[in-house]
Amino acid sequence: MTMRKLRAVWIRLLGMIGAQRDDEEFAAELASHVAMDTDDGVRAGLSPAEARRQALIHLGGAEQTQQAHRERRGLPWLETLVRDFTYGLRTLGRHLGVTAIAILSIGLGIGANATIFSMVSRFVLRPAPMGDPTTLLGLHTTHGSDPCCNNFSFPAYTDLRDQAKSFSGVAAYYELIPASIGGGGQPERVWGQGVTSNFFDVTELPMVVGRGFITGQENAPEVVLGAGLWQRRFNADKAIVGKPVILSGRTFTVVGVVTPAFHSVDQILDTEFWVPLGNTR
């Protein structure tokens, strides 16, 4: 039964083409119908004019029948839709200014949404590429009734690191520090973070090349580069490890490049280099 319905819809779809010829054919069919009905009327004793009048009454109006037939032949709602659509296009074509503004604003809207989504996707939806995010905790101190997020003092951090038995390791990082990077091209301002020497071990971040810092060397003049900065300024040089980089006038030795997916622990900041925390004091 469903197949039959489908078949009917298909034929009606085809029926939208060549409607003129179908109209003529059905008009001929109706004419022959009326003629036969008139013949019968005349045979029953009516005058030809009266017989024809009766025949048309029986038919319930030739024009109405034509219309009902036409609607069954095609898919009227689809025809209307197509007509409305072409009418809409024509109207838009006539008002080019309005059309341009509409396209522009819709385009901007889509663009803005796409941008916002890609940022949300990058920072919020996609977790930071750290070894095992489920066992990684963020620690904060609270102060009075203030619910959130005060920094630890450094001694509090060292106590925690040395005495807390529930953690396999405790690392710390400090807020963003700006630095100007020179050498080999235009000087550029980049943002980095001071982190404890065990930071890359605790977070289990994969490295593109090289390694993280050596645990305990909090003042080592070493730097880990973000993959973006490495590609942009150093042409993704695989032999970068061991080379010097000058940050705000101080020379650091590159020890590693971190995976491109990593920007910061909370993914919201776009951090491009990391140095041992002692360098930022």
Partner 1 sequence: MNEKPDVLQGTLALMVLRTLETLGPLHGYGLARRIEQTSGNLLQLNYGTLYPALLKLEQEGFIRSRWGVSENNRRAKFYELTKAGGRQVKNAAKEWEQTTAILARFLAPAEEA
Query: Coil, strand, or helix at residue 137?
Result: coil
Residue 54 tokens, joined: 């009766």
Please give the angle made by the CA atoms of 256, 259 and 260, to the nearest 5 degrees.
Answer: 120
Match 């003042």 to its residue by tokens. Answer: 219
How far is Cα of residue 127 from the mean position of the Cα atoms in its chain? 17
Using the rule CB under 8 A, give the single segment among 3-11, 92-100, 118-126, 255-263 that binds partner 1.
Answer: 3-11
Is 72 a binding residue for partner 1 by CB under 8 A? The answer is: yes
Which of 219, 225, 270 has the alpha carbon at shortest distance from 243? Answer: 225
Least distance in angstroms from the C-beta of 46 to partner 1:
16
Q: How far apart are CA 238 and CA 177, in angstroms?
A: 26
Q: Applying CB under 8 A, which of residues 17, 19, 50, 61 lies at the interface with partner 1?
A: 61
281 scored as a contact of partner 1 (CB under 8 A): no
- Residue 52 interacting with partner 1 (CB under 8 A): no
Q: Is 54 in the site for partner 1 (CB under 8 A)?
A: no
Q: For residue 17, state whether it binds partner 1 (rule: CB under 8 A).
A: no
The yes or no reply on residue 80 touching partner 1 (CB under 8 A) is no
The answer to the question of residue 94 lying near partner 1 (CB under 8 A) is no
Q: What is the nearest approach in angstroms of partner 1 to the Cβ of residue 84?
A: 21
Minimum CB distance to partner 1, residue 31 (Å): 9
Q: For residue 165, count CB atoms less than 10 angstroms from its CB and return exposed for 0-12, middle for 13-18, buried for 19 or more.
A: exposed
Distance CA 213, CA 21 (A): 85
Minimum distance from CB of 72 to partner 1 (Å)? Answer: 4
Q: Does 90 bind partner 1 (CB under 8 A)?
A: no
- What's the CA gap between 51 and 49, in Å, rounded? 5
Does 36 interact with partner 1 (rule: CB under 8 A)? yes
Residue 124 has what DSSP assignment? I
Q: Which of 7/126 has CB closer to partner 1?
A: 7
Nearest 10 degrees: CA dihedral of 110, 113, 119, 121?
Answer: -100
Residue closest to 92 by CA, chosen among 84, 167, 190: 84
Q: Kindly determine how many residues on this chain lie close enough to bind partner 1 according to the rule CB under 8 A.
A: 29
Reading the block at residue 277, the tokens are: 């925390």
- Residue 126 interacts with partner 1 (CB under 8 A): yes or no: no
Residue 30 in contact with partner 1, rule: CB under 8 A = yes
Smallest distance, Å, CB 49 to partner 1?
19
272 binds partner 1 (CB under 8 A): no
Instruction: Tell me the helices (H) and strands (E) count for the chain, helix number first.
Output: 9, 9
Q: Round to whole Å and give the CA distance between 204 and 274.
A: 15
The answer to whether residue 104 forms part of the interface with partner 1 (CB under 8 A) is no
- Per rule CB under 8 A, is residue 19 in the interface with partner 1? no
Q: How many Å apart are CA 205 and CA 26, to the nearest integer?
A: 78
In angstroms, give the least distance from the CB of 71 to partner 1: 8
53 binds partner 1 (CB under 8 A): no
Instruction: Show the tokens assigned to 216.
Output: 């305990």
Decide: is 73 part of the binding site for partner 1 (CB under 8 A).
yes
Applying CB under 8 A, which residues contact partner 1? 4-5, 7-8, 11-12, 26, 28-30, 32-33, 35-37, 39-40, 58-62, 64-65, 68-69, 71-73
